[in-house]
Amino acid sequence: MSEERVGFFTDTSVCIGCKACEVACKEWNAIPEDGLSLTAMSYDNTQALGASTWRHVAFIEQPRPDGRTQLPVVEGGSTAQETAVGGDGELRWLMSSDVCKHCTHAACLDVCPTGSLFRTEFGTVVVQEDICNGCGYCVPACPYGVIEQRPHDGRAFKCTMCYDRLGAGQEPACAKACPTESIQFGPLDELRERAALRVDQLHEAGVPEARLYGHDPDDGVGGDGAFFLLLDEPEVYGLPPDPVVTTRDLPAMWKHAGAAALSLLGGVAACFVATTGRGRR
């Protein structure tokens, strides 16, 4: 990695669910339309990340926590995160723009047999669509369920963090389009410091449930290149609470497989020697 590692910090406490990030991502990367279908459970019309949805804004409707009326983000009024959706203000929306996490230890890289997936000089993980052979090994390897194959040709697609824009010294299209700076782009170490300060600010303002997700280099994937400030448990946003790199046991598995193969070869050799000895007698 020749450049400073960069990434995303998504502060969900200021996300207004405008979906400008989804639109900018599709437009810049020329991602095909993949249909709009409401779940009848929320205003979410893209539902999940996929081969043709590299940014997904989740809408979660839930009861408002007791003892608090607004987040300290916009003076003089509540934010979209705390907008009352019930008649007496008992509900709130949580919104979060999800994306590929660009893991430090990326299992998708470990299992790709063609080198289609590679680590860029910026520390991001990119799929080269002209090399992908559609084997699909990367799909179950991703602990976040981000990668998906397109049905018509089987090739895998996901967020590239706008690799072409990074090469030109520009920020990714989604971060550029975000009107509230919920999606922040920059050097990863700087973003982690900024996120820690934001959590402290929210705690001091009476939002004790504010927490970071994916920022810790000691977690099961070595930390994410795209991490989040959440206002509830990760599961509420559809995120695994404790993700681990799915290929972590591969070295031990290959070791056991090698030992088993040697044992089998030893048995075959012993049988051959014994059979040959009886023939001579």
Q: Please return the burial class of 105, using the count of CB atoms within 10 Å of its CB with bins 0-12, 13-18 and 19+.
A: middle
User: 266: which strand partners?
Assistant: none
In sequence order, the 6+-apart residues with CB closer than 8 A to the CB of 157 are 31, 51, 52, 54, 127, 129, 147, 148, 149, 150
Taking only the tens place, the pLDDT of each residue in 199-253 is: 999 999 999 999 999 999 999 999 999 999 999 999 999 999 999 998 877 776 7
* Residue 119, H or E segment: strand 117-119
**Residue 103: strand, helix, or coil:** coil
Q: What is the pLDDT of residue 81?
A: 58
Q: What is the mean pLDDT of residues 78-91?
A: 56
Q: What is the pLDDT of residue 2?
A: 64
The C-alpha atoms of residue 198 and residue 227 are separated, in whole angstroms, by 13
**Residues across the chain:** 281
Band (pLDDT 50/70/90 cuts) for residue 35 is confident
Band (pLDDT 50/70/90 cuts) for residue 88 is low
